[in-house]
């Protein structure tokens, strides 16, 4: 029984470590691909935020493929008139897959209630 728990814990930790590694790789790709020139995680700048993109495609079973193609070749019309350039050929399809998976996983952080935060702060003072 202990061996089963140890095996389960080892598996869970390895999945968590690989998920963190993929997250780090995606963040690096986001910067190296110059995606951050037009996109931010939470704020809209030239292009939509990553959270807006994820929200738009959430629940769409074809989202991964649609966005991989959009990232590779670019396009316009989905978010206004400003065209998105395609990705450099030096970025592999596998890297684009990692990046799009990460983008689609973005979710807005829950908003904290300022009144609740103020009450908690008073109690600690």
Q: How far apart are the first and last CA of the chain?
A: 47
Report whether 22 contacts 97 (CB < 8 A).
no
Coil, helix or strand at residue 106: coil
Residue with tokens 């089963």: 4
pLDDT digits (tens, 9 = 90+) for 89-115: 899 999 999 999 999 999 987 776 655
- Widest CA span in the chain: 60
- The reported pLDDT for the residue numbered 112 is 67
Structural domains in the chain? 35-108 (1.10.760.10)
pLDDT digits (tens, 9 = 90+) for 9-62: 555 544 444 555 778 999 999 999 999 999 999 998 899 999 999 999 999 999
Overall average pLDDT of the 74-93 stretch: 90
Length of the chain: 125
Report DSSP state, residue 91.
Answer: S
If one counts every other C-beta atom within 10 angstroms of the C-beta of residue 84, the result is: 20
Residue 18 tokens, joined: 């690989």
C-alpha span between 102 and 35 (Å, rounded): 13
pLDDT the model gives residue 120: 55
d(CA 2, CA 6): 6
What's the pLDDT score for residue 13?
44
- The answer for residues whose C-beta is within 8 angstroms of residue 92's C-beta and 6 or more apart is none
């Amino acid at each position: 029984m202990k061996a089963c728990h140890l095996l389960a814990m080892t598996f869970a930790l390895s999945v968590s470590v690989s998920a963190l590694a993929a997250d780090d790789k995606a963040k690096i790709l986001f910067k190296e691909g110059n995606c951050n020139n037009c996109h931010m995680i939470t704020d809209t700048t030239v292009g939509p935020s990553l959270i807006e993109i994820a929200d738009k495609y959430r629940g769409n079973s074809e989202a991964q493929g649609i966005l991989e193609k959009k990232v590779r070749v670019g396009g316009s019309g989905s978010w206004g008139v400003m065209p998105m350039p395609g990705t450099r050929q030096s970025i592999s399809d596998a890297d684009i897959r990692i990046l799009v998976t990460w983008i689609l996983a973005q979710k807005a952080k829950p908003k904290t209630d300022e009144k609740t935060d103020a009450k908690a702060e008073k109690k600690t003072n």
